[in-house]
Amino acid sequence: MNSTFWVLGAVLLVGLCPAIGQNTAAIARLPQTTREEILARAKTFANHKWTCSAKNLHASCYANYRSDWKDGQVITGIPYNWGGFDSPASFDQKIAKGMAAGSHSRYGVLSCTAGIDCSGFVSYCWGIPLKSHTYTTSNMRDIGGELKSNWFTDLQPGDALDKPGSHVVLFTGYNPDGTFNICEAAGGPARVVCHKTTWSTHKGFIPLQYKGLY
Amino acid sequence: MAQPYGLILILLIAPATSVRLQDGVATGAKQARKVPLTRTVKLPVIQLSSPNANEKQGNPAALEVWPGAEDELPEGPSGFDVFADGSFVIADPLSLRLVVYDAQGNFKRALPVGFAADSVTVTNEGMILAREANTDAVHPLDREGKPLEQAPKLSPMPEATLVRGENKGSISVGASPGLPAGTLAVRFDEKGSTMVSLQAIGTDSGLGMFVALEATVPEGGADGIDVRKMVQRYSPQGVLVAESAWIPLDYFVPPVDELRVRKGIVYQLMTTRTEVRVNEWDMNER
């Protein structure tokens, strides 16, 4: 029995080591960034001004698409686009090409729309290149360490609040009344917005700190 | 919603005149009344199954909810307010309309505003201010939904300050006609629980100040952020006179307008998968 135990242990170790090594290497490869840079990126999304034209109201790949916007409307904030991971620059390029501005899950993930979703937004703010939608709310913990401190007093701007399978937001600071501020890409406002919020509307969210901070 | 400019609140302007709160009860005052949930009005919901679905056909009373998906929050009614007669106006953003129900929850009329509203405010004069979710533009409407030229300028709610770790805070109230500016002392006393936020949610002529408190859950245990929430009512003299029971927080669609106050009643909007609930706590004196 003893020998079986050691053999199994050895097999387990051999099996796990590469995985541990890969994870450590993945963290080491994460882009390094500062909290100031994270907040600055968030602002570029929330403050991005763009004008919707008639060609951005229709999605060429989905007939029953209904736009959130109107022709000629000047909007502040990159549109919410479920499954999307556009930077402000790539969003502008796609809008200029006539792609539709933003989308919701009810239309599915569309290749003919432009914008960003919640996990794409937080990933981008943390400095992750948006070449593909690598991180979702379910694997954000691969790049964000869970915070064990007092969440009501010890979060820092640039941390995230993540509810796996649901939503993730960027924490930007506490208010004197104990509430807090966030930036998020969400379907309700249909774009990236920064606003005050309460703890009660974020029950079940888990605070995370980006692992590539320096 | 009760408006701050309607404030008739006698404020505490100097330590000599302030009411000191001890153990949640003002010195010399009677115990704050605990107010259980008074009633719940339930409004019908249609949960959409596809963007083309027309499940609502024939039922204008039904509000629309989209259940969301992996990495997407549900969408649906997140804004509401209460008219002076107790009837409700609820934002139905997926249908680009507002819907008015009487105080019992019976459908009265739909206001096809043509935009997705995420927040609604009813002024003391009965005007509706609907905020367009994707632009933040505020649209003034009459009770029938007809656009109005000008929106009244509403004063913001008084600012609150939490004294972290001490279960107390204060609310600074600007001067209102005939009254000086001052500070209301807010206190929360429950063993094993810490107040983590406080917000003024309404002032009502003659009824004083309504304050929403969030507090930690004793012993915790739940994964992630977990809090409890209640509303306290302070008299115009700054005395804590009533406290709601802990309010339910199992939101399906996160509210923008979570709580409203009208005529001493606290209203909560709670959109679930199957219905929209308007929970009420009557904080008036008995």
Per-position DSSP letters for B251-280, written without gaps between them: -SBPPSS-EEEETTEEEEEEE-SSEEEEEE
Give the confidence band of B203 by pLDDT, cuts at 50, 70, 90.
Answer: confident
Output the six-digit token pair for B14.
Answer: 């100097």
From CA A90, how far away is CA A93, in angstroms rounded? 5
Residue A131: which residues within 8 A CB-CB, separation 6 or more? none
Q: Which of A185-189, B150-154, B157-161 has the lowest mean pLDDT?
A: B150-154
Predicted pLDDT at B55: 56
Mutation test of the interface with chain A: which of B46, B50, B71, choosing the one with the most A Cβ atoms within 10 A?
A: B71
* Residues of chain B neighbouring A161 (CB-CB closer than 8 A): 225
Chains A & B: contacts with CB separation below 8 Å:
135
Nearest chain B alpha carbon to A49: B135
CA distance, residue B227 to nearest chain A CA (Å): 6
Predicted pLDDT at A13: 46
Mean pLDDT of B156-185: 82
3-state SS, residue B203: strand
CA distance, residue B221 to nearest chain A CA (Å): 11
Place of tokens 């669609």: B253
Predicted pLDDT at B62: 95
Instruction: Using CB atoms, pick whichever of A136, A178, A204 lies closest to residue B162.
Output: A178
Output the six-digit token pair for B46.
Answer: 């249609």
Instruction: Give me the amino acid identity at A163.
Output: K
* Residues of chain A neighbouring B246 (CB-CB closer than 8 A): none
* B204: β partners: B208
Rg, Å, chain B Cα set: 20
ipTM of the complex: 0.87
Q: Is the predicted pLDDT of residue B235 greater than 50, yes or no?
A: yes
For residue A108, is it within any domain?
A: yes
Instruction: Using CB atoms, pick whichever of A64, A177, A203 lies closest to residue B227.
Output: A203
Mean pLDDT of B138-143: 95
* Residues of chain B neighbouring A198 (CB-CB closer than 8 A): 197, 199, 214, 258
From CA B239, how far away is CA B32, in angstroms rounded? 9
Per-residue pLDDT for chain A (214 aa), expressed as one digit of tens each? 455 555 555 544 444 444 444 455 556 689 999 999 999 999 999 999 999 999 999 999 999 999 999 999 999 999 999 999 999 999 999 999 999 999 999 999 899 999 999 999 999 999 998 777 789 999 999 999 999 889 999 999 999 999 999 999 999 999 999 999 999 999 999 999 999 999 999 999 999 999 999 9
For residue A109, is it within any domain?
A: yes
Predicted pLDDT at B30: 61
Cross-chain Cβ contact B72/A104 below 8 Å: yes
Instruction: Using CB atoms, pick whichever of A118, A188, A201 lies closest to residue B133.
Output: A188
CB contact at 8 A, B279 and B247: yes
Predicted pLDDT at B10: 35
Residue B38: which residues within 8 A CB-CB, separation 6 or more? B265, B280, B281, B282
Give the confidence band of B28 by pLDDT, cuts at 50, 70, 90.
Answer: very low
Q: What are phi and psi of B117, to 5 degrees?
A: -100, 140
Predicted pLDDT at B26: 40
Closest to B269 in 3D by CA, of B218, B201, B216, B223: B201
Output the six-digit token pair for B89.
Answer: 């106006």
Closest to B259 in 3D by CA, of B274, B272, B244, B273: B244
Cross-chain Cβ contact B256/A104 below 8 Å: no
In DSSP notation, chain A reads -HHHHHHHHHHHHHHHHHHHHHHHHHHHHSPPB-HHHHHHHHHHHHT-EEE--GGGG--TT-TT---SS-TT-EEESPBBBTT-B--HHHHHHHHHTT-EE-B-GGG-S-SSEE-B-HHHHHHHHTT--TTS----TTTGGGTEEEP-S-TTT---TT-EEEETTTEEEEEEEE-TTS-EEEEEEETTTTEEEEEEE-SGGGTT-EEEEETTB-
Q: What's the CA dihedral at B15, B16, B21, B27 to 10 degrees? A: 170
Could you tell me the CA-to-CA distances from A123 to A20, A132, A136, A209, A214 in Å, in that order?
Answer: 22, 11, 9, 12, 16
Cross-chain Cβ contact B50/A106 below 8 Å: yes
For residue A57, is it within any domain?
A: yes
Instruction: Using CB atoms, pick whichever of B52, B159, B197 lies closest to residue A178.
Output: B197
CA distance, residue B222 to nearest chain A CA (Å): 8
Count of domains forming chain A: 1
For residue A178, is it within any domain?
A: no
Could you tell me the CA-to-CA distances from A20 to A14, A16, A141 in Å, in that order?
Answer: 10, 6, 15
3-state helix, strand, coil split of chain B in percent (to 5) is 5, 45, 50
From CA A22, how far away is CA A162, in angstroms rounded? 24
Which residue range forms the structural domain that includes residue A103?
Answer: 43-118
Query: Computed from CA positions of residues B198, B157, A187, A175, in that sequence, does the dihedral angle turn out positive or negative?
Result: negative
Q: Is the predicted pLDDT of residue B252 greater than 90, yes or no?
A: yes
Predicted pLDDT at B3: 44
Quick: pLDDT tens for B43-77: 999 998 766 655 556 789 999 999 999 999 999 99
Q: What are phi and psi of B208, to 5 degrees?
A: 95, -150
CA distance, residue A14 to nearest chain B CA (Å): 32
Predicted pLDDT at B223: 82
For residue A92, is it within any domain?
A: yes
Query: Computed from CA positions of residues A108, A114, A117, A119, in that sequence, does the dihedral angle turn out positive or negative?
Result: positive
Q: Is the predicted pLDDT of residue B279 greater than 80, yes or no?
A: yes
From CA B23, how far away is CA A108, in angstroms rounded? 54
Q: What's the CA dihedral at A104, A105, A109, A114 to 10 degrees? A: 10
Cross-chain Cβ contact B72/A199 below 8 Å: no
For residue A184, is it within any domain?
A: no
Greater confidence, A26 or B15? A26
For residue A124, is it within any domain?
A: no
Cross-chain Cβ contact A205/B222 below 8 Å: no
Could you tell me the CA-to-CA distances from B64 to B59, B82, B129 in Å, in that order?
Answer: 11, 20, 21
For residue A135, is it within any domain?
A: no
Instruction: Give me the amino acid identity at A211.
Output: K
Predicted pLDDT at B14: 30
* Residues of chain B neighbouring A154 (CB-CB closer than 8 A): none
Predicted pLDDT at A79: 98
Predicted pLDDT at B57: 62
From CA A123, how far away is CA A141, in angstroms rounded? 11
